[in-house]
Structure 1
Amino acid sequence: MTDWVSLCVISLLLLLCLITLACYFVYSGLLSDVVVLTGSPPIKKITFAYKFTQGPYKNCGQLFKESHRIGPKLSCIGVFYDDPNKVPGPQCRYAVGSILSEGENKADEELLKSYETSGFNVFSFPEVTHVVTTSFPHRTFLSILLMIRRVYPKLADYIKKRRLCAHPFLEIYREGHIHFMAPLARQGDFYVPELRRVERKLSEQEEMHSDSDVSGADSNSEYSSGSGVLLSDSRETSLAGSSVRSVPLQDQEERHYRGRSSGGISLKELDWEQTGGQPAEKEEPLHEDSDHKSLEAPTQEWWGVVGGEE
């Protein structure tokens, strides 16, 4: 009799644990609809504090924690530039930080100084009219893992079927949700100065090697094309001379410049590949720049649909 009671108690406890676990998964977003669409972005023109880092995306959680600690009431943002399926983890590049101001609002001067003192730079992204976007609940640590499995494959499929040029990918953490967006025009305006310097350095090395060693040039070209980064000089030429330390907020607002949380983040499911309006030969992921084509042609094609953006 005692053994039977004990067995019933154990079974009941196991059942309660399973129910609790199932509720936790559902609450974290397991059954949430992921609706991908093309439309207005979840953010307007923004000025944000950030740190640019090169390394595996799974390590970005520490930067999110650091940024959130300085401005706990601010929305966090992550910008991911490379395709981890084509670029080795140590060479992937991303920027993580907090949004200081949006639209015509002004940044809090004390917070701005706090971020700068902690080694963050300041930059601005413009407001664009058309992006690929969706959202997902951000309620628990599990939400991050579910987001990786559920959101990015749908984003990739959406972009592939419509043969769009959409990159880089931004994640905005706000009010219990993760908002995703990938601009369909002015992509060059969403690349922070540090990344532009890296690309220019790679381009210079490629030119130097092309003069002395053709094979060396091919090697550098392969790395650049596989990075998922296509830069157009849509910003002022003065951007090339920007220093690594923070850019003055006032200067950025005058020029109208625009452009993962505590869990480890990986985008293994993605194989971002720019189609440039041509059928892809293989599964195309989120960052679509592997055939080393210029950004100019596909974006102009898209501008013809939406009316263009200056």
Structure 2
Amino acid sequence: MLNLWDPHAGLAVGAALATAFLLGMVHGITPDEHTWPITFSYAIGSYSTRKGLLAGLIFSLAFTLQRALASELAYLALDRWFTMGPTIDYVVYLLVGAAMAVAGFQIMRGRHWHLFGSHRAGPETAPDLQDPRPWMPAVHGFIAGWGFGAFAILIYTVLAPAMPDAALGWLPGALFGLGTMTIQASAGALFGWVSRRLGLDPAAVRRVALITAGRTLGWGGLVFVAGGVFGLLFPGLAGFSLATGLHIHNLDHLGIALVLVMVTVLGIGLGTLISQTRYWARQARTAGTAGAGTAG
């Protein structure tokens, strides 16, 4: 039986690779601050199942590349900086948050930055919003992969050293990334599918999706930057967590990582999606009522 909670050193190559892939799937499912906010933002902004799937794939492939590289570095014993532990996560929060904010600003073109508010302009003004560029999730995927948590520790200290030589040192990280990609690409397709079934006309769907993506990236990025600054200034407070008793990485303790996910995805992301959908649905009903009255 594979032990995904606490795999031990000395695993056979096949068992180590299988463990890496399955751990990647668990990583993709659990609410991880390095994956879900970014996947949600780009996938919902794609406003289609196919484009949402593509956004998830691009992000995950870049993440896979990073994990393969870091796995090889770990095998070659060039990973001393990983011993910085949580400090690396706080630095990654700063970098990812800054990249998210820049991407959000680009989507919004400097507008619509107020949270959850409605807009007087109709959906015909949607050209003032810009679709996310394919390179954006790729950059975020590569940066986010440098986060250092329970999964990274297992890859770098147990699974990578289990490889027989340096030529295979990258495989555990790559398999972990592919496992994450399996889940995140599916999630991206789901978020894209949701954005296409908001019950609105295509122009309004595009506007809702892009405003949701832009605010999630923009305001969520600022939240991540704040989390990184807080962690670097007050590591003791930022490191506080509550044990859940669950033997599932990312769910065994509830701390700053979960707070970032909840605020960014559930608070900003879903909050914007719901408020914007309701607003444009009311606009459509008002227009329909006015049209019916004029016709009568």
Structure that is richer in helix per residue: 2
- Scaled to the shorter chain, the TM-score interval is under 0.3
TM-score, with structure 1 as normaliser: 0.26
TM-score, with structure 2 as normaliser: 0.27
Structure that is richer in strand per residue: 1
**Whose relative contact order is higher, 1 or 2, with alpha carbons under 8 Å and at least 6 apart?**
2
